[in-house]
Amino acid sequence: MYQEEMDDFQIRLATLKSQGFHCSQILMLLALERTGRKNPDLVRAMGGIAKGLWNGGETCGALLGGACILGFYAGRGRPDEEEDPGLSVMVSSLSEWFRSEAGLSLGSTRCSDILDEYGKTKCPQLVRSVWIKTTELLEANGIDIYEGRHLEE
């Protein structure tokens, strides 16, 4: 990302956070915005995986949100639609990357472990890093993050 885009991106992340959205919701809002869509039902549903499944002891909401973004772009949503063949590899790659390269010294994906180690100070960086990684994975698989899947009925 160019510096100007990154500055705008950081401002957008801070704005969504200040509006009370959780990591998983912020990531989906970014995907919806990139495709020019609005879907409050989907954003509400993403709240269900926030905060380590709300008890903090489970998988980080940023990682889960990233996996959901991959599904948003590459998953199957209708009986007549096929899942992108690269979806499972992209989700596995995201998870492996998160464990080893997301800047976490402990190698855990658990929200409680991350919060115990870093507090909430690491969360914005994780959301940003997960967004960048998911877009890299999508682009490497030939999926345009601005197009997304079309929602014809």
pLDDT tens digits, 2-57: 455 558 888 999 999 999 999 999 999 999 999 999 999 999 999 999 988 877 67
Whether the CA torsion 78, 41, 21, 51 is positive or negative: it is negative
Return the higher-pLDDT residue of 32 and 117: 32
pLDDT at 117 over 90: no
DSSP secondary structure of 93-113: HHHHHHHHHSS-TT---BHHH
pTM of the model: 0.88
Please give the residue that has the higher pLDDT: either 107 or 97. Answer: 97
Other C-beta atoms lying within 10 Å of the C-beta of residue 39: 16
Residue 90 lies in a domain: yes
Residue 112 is assigned to a structural domain of this protein? yes
Give the pLDDT confidence of 130-147 residue by residue, as tens digits.
Answer: 999 999 999 999 999 998
Is position 75 within any domain?
yes
Our count of domains for the chain comes to: 1
The whole domain housing 73 covers: 3-140
104: pLDDT strictly greater than 80: no
Query: How far apart (Å, rounded) are the C-alpha atoms in residues 99 and 40?
Result: 30
Residue 104 maps to a domain: yes
Model pLDDT, residue 152: 53
What counts of helices (H) and strands (E) characterise the chain?
A: 8, 0
Pairwise pLDDT comparison (149 vs 20), residue with the higher score: 20
For residue 12, being part of any structural domain is answered with yes
**Assigned domain for 123 exists:** yes
CA atoms within 13 A on the CB side of 141: 22
3-class DSSP state for residue 67?
helix
Q: What is the mean pLDDT of residues 71-93?
A: 95
Q: Domain for residue 48, yes or no?
A: yes
Hunting for tokens 């877009």 — which residue is that?
135
Q: How many CB atoms lie within 10 A of CB 53?
A: 14
* Within-domain flag for 153: no
Distance, in Å, from the CA atom of 25 to the CA atom of 47, rounded to the nearest integer, reads 6
Query: Looking at residue 153, what is its pLDDT?
Result: 43
